[in-house]
Amino acid sequence: MVILLSNIKDTMCFTKRVQIPKVNRVHPKPNLPKFTIDEVIQCHGCYNNFSLEKLKINCAGCDKFFHCKIAGTCYGKNCASEFGNDQVHRLSWCINCVPNIPENKIRKKREDPCICKKCLTD
């Protein structure tokens, strides 16, 4: 048996592997941005920058912020959702996302009524 093992050693080729040492690196945490109330967002009606206080609506159709070109709040049944203490929230729309009918015109306040395409057809 000893003879067999010695023959195997003579016929096999063993190479010495070079081990690469592992390098442990520590990556610092990135600095998180700080959000404040003095940020500005672009109005997609006039493309001017306004503070968060001056923006009036976030359109339910195009999901953009507006301080002008407001159609109003839809009074249809599809745009109303109840929550909490029987409070009703209604979606606001810009003038570009509502149908072009005389009832829908540019308004100054978000509380003024309008009707969207989905509620108009139902």
Write the pLDDT tens digit of every residue in 56-108.
999 999 999 999 999 999 998 888 888 878 888 899 999 999 999 988 888 88
22 located within any domain:
no
101 located within any domain:
yes
* Concatenated DSSP letters of the chain: -HHHHHHHHHH----PPPPPPP----PPPPPPPPP-TT-EEE-TTT--EEETTT--EE-TTT--EESSSEEEEE-SGGGEEEETTTEEEE-EEETTSS---TT---BSSTTSEE--HHHHH-
15 located within any domain:
no
pLDDT tens-digit map of 5-50: 555 555 556 667 778 888 888 888 888 877 777 788 999 999 999 9
Domain that holds residue 114: 38-122
Q: How many structural domains comprise the chain?
A: 1
